[in-house]
Amino acid sequence: MRIILSGGGSGGPVAPLLGLVETLKQTEPTAECIWFGTASGPEQTMVAPYQIPFYSIAAGKWRRYWSWQNFIDPFRIIWGWGQSLHLLYKLKPDLVITAGAFGSVATVWAASLLRIPCIVHQQDIIPGLANKLMVNQATAITVTFQQSLAVFPARKTHWIGNLIRPSVVSGSAERARQTWRLEPNVPVVLIMGGGTGAVSLNQTVIDGLTELTKHCQIIHLTGAGKELPAEHSRYHSFPFLTDQMADALAVADVVVARAGLSSLTEFAAASKAVILVPMPGSHQEANADYYARQNAVRLLPAAQLTGQTLTEAVTALLSNPADLNQLRQNIHSSMKWGANEAMVELIRKLVVKA
């Protein structure tokens, strides 16, 4: 069984598909996974530890605002479609799977032309434009949230929850403390701004660093190329983490992050107390609102984000163990679990039909 995993580009979800890779290695050890992604996105670095063959595909983006790249990207999309068509014909996969990204649209369109079954996974509550463009070509659509069933064709849509990397919840807090020489009796706050980093969140951390480090020690994932100069014995900064991400999550008492569904699912699986700073004007706001209404996270809107408000939000949680525990319980119970196994079963059915 040969499967093409397609995902990447700016904001493209990678972690869910890597979670599927981990599960397939256990349940379908003869399955061969191949990755189609962009040359400029973070996915190639994330995929590398899994030793999956990686092919770069040109990708454009449908922008609903003025940009000179709007004149160039149609040609990138056409070129990406041609690349995908050539590679799919050459590799002859049994199935194509994407978790949504502009870089996947050309691949799914090409796969449909070649009559290769495709699964499109919808993570977020509000469907993105890329997934809307792939609905007709998809053989099956899987969704994280039950309410998403009403958005897609009922005959081919399945509510399974969100895919997750099993390895990310198998970290060691003790190993993290040794690796980064963390102080034993000082709370740890993990701060991350998504796969490509969040400049405003990064700068806010630096602005509030002096006050924050009076109350906690920080593991800060800035995003590649967005490292900031800051030195403090309680501040540990990295562009991103791969193998050590599980340990960082295990040791964290509080997590501060954007509201991407990949990360939120991992926080929920690890039962972490989370402060969300959703990207303004994006689908992340709907994600964050969903969890906030269930008292599963604390919200800190980007418009209110300063070094002071970040420090206040963090210290308010750290000083209230009852709130911490309630958030941990609520975020874990807010998710439908078992998506990886459900996806493997769907894959088996589609490959047999094909």
Q: Give the CATH number, domain containing residue 236.
A: 3.40.50.2000
Determine the average pLDDT of the residues in 245-274. Answer: 94
Q: Which of 221, 264, 6, 241 is nearest to 112 (CA)?
A: 6
Q: Please, what sign has the CA dihedral across residues 196, 84, 21, 333?
A: positive
Q: Which two tokens stand for residue 14?
A: 């990678």
Distance CA 149, CA 132 (A): 14
The 3-state secondary structure of 189-239, one letter per residue: EEEECCCCCCHHHHHHHHHCHHHHCCCCEEEEECCCCCCCCCCCCCEEEEC
Say if residues 15 and 263 touch (Cβ distance below 8 Å): yes
Per-residue pLDDT of 260-308, as tens digits, reads 898 999 999 999 999 999 988 888 999 999 999 999 999 999 899 999 9
pLDDT, tens digit (0-9, with 9 covering 90-100), for 155-165? 999 999 999 99
What is the mean predicted confidence (pLDDT) over 124-151? 92
Q: Are residues 41 and 95 in the same domain?
A: yes
Q: How many domains does the chain have?
A: 2
Q: Are residues 280 and 228 both part of a single domain?
A: yes
Burial class (CB in 10 A: 0-12, 13-18, 19+), 51: exposed
182 and 287 together in one domain:
yes
**Inter-residue contact 224 to 196 (CB < 8 Å):** yes
Query: Do 95 and 144 fall into the same domain?
Result: yes
Same domain (yes/no): 91, 25 = yes
- Are 154 and 218 found together in one domain? no
* Residue range(s) defining the domain that contains residue 222: 167-333
The closest of 68, 144, 52, 73 to 338, measured between CA atoms, is 144
Average pLDDT over residues 137-164: 95
Which pLDDT band holds residue 327 (cuts at 50, 70, 90)?
Answer: very high
Tell me the three state secondary structure of residue 97. Answer: strand
| Claim to verify: residue 174 and residue 315 sit in the same structural domain | yes
Residue 255 and residue 192 in one domain: yes
pLDDT band at residue 315 using 50, 70 and 90 as cut-offs: very high
How many Cβ atoms are within 10 Å of 236's Cβ, its own excluded? 19
Rounded to 10 degrees, what is the CA torsion of 155, 161, 163, 166?
Answer: -140
The SS3 of residue 272 is coil
Give the tens place of pLDDT for each residue, 81-99: 888 899 999 999 999 999 9
Q: Are residues 173 and 100 in the same domain?
A: no
CB-side neighbour CA atoms (13 Å) of 307? 11
Let me know whether 101 and 184 are in one domain.
no
Among 176, 245, 181, 236, residue whose Cα is nearest residue 212: 236
Pair 54, 76 in one domain: yes
DSSP secondary structure string for all residues of 8-52 = -STT---HHHHHHHHHHHHH-TT-EEEEEE-SSSTHHHHHGGGT-
The tokens of 22 are what?
Answer: 């981990």
> What is the SS3 assignment for 145-167?
CHHHHHCCCHHHEEECCCCCCHH
CA distance 209 to 249: 20
Global pTM value: 0.88
Q: How confident is the model at residue 24 (pLDDT cuts 50, 70, 90)?
A: very high
- Is residue 293 domain-shared with residue 321, that is, in the same domain? yes
- Altogether, the residues listed in the chain come to a count of 354
